[in-house]
């Protein structure tokens, strides 16, 4: 029987869109095998400490949507 667990990381990144170092927050879902070994890992969520001041954010009155395809960090990452 397989199980999953969550893992979070914080990465410093020199962002060209806001022209400074930002904190990238990544949450992963990890699939564990029967003896607890890691079988697979998938990114569950990406966020950034400056995302509301960046081109990824589009403000609509009281709400905001995020287009992570515009993110300088995401563009540097290999395809999942």
Distance separating alpha carbons of residues 80 and 43, to the nearest angstrom: 8
Distance separating alpha carbons of residues 10 and 45, to the nearest angstrom: 12
Distance separating alpha carbons of residues 19 and 36, to the nearest angstrom: 42
In the sheet where 20-32 sits, what is the strand order? 3-15, 20-32, 38-48
The stretch 57-68 carries a mean pLDDT of 92
Answer whether residue 80 shows pLDDT above 90.
Answer: no
Render pLDDT for 16-61 as a digit per residue (tens, 0 to 9): 988 999 999 999 999 999 888 899 999 998 899 998 888 899 999 9
Rg, the chain, Cα only:
15
């Amino acid at each position: 029987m397989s199980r999953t667990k969550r893992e979070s990381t914080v990465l410093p990144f020199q962002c060209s869109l806001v022209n400074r170092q930002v904190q990238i927050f990544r949450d992963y879902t990890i699939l564990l095998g029967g003896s607890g070994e890691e079988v697979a890992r998938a990114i569950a969520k990406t966020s950034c400490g400056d995302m509301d001041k960046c081109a990824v954010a589009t403000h609509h009155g009281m709400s905001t949507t995020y287009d992570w395809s515009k993110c300088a960090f995401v563009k540097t990452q290999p395809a999942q």
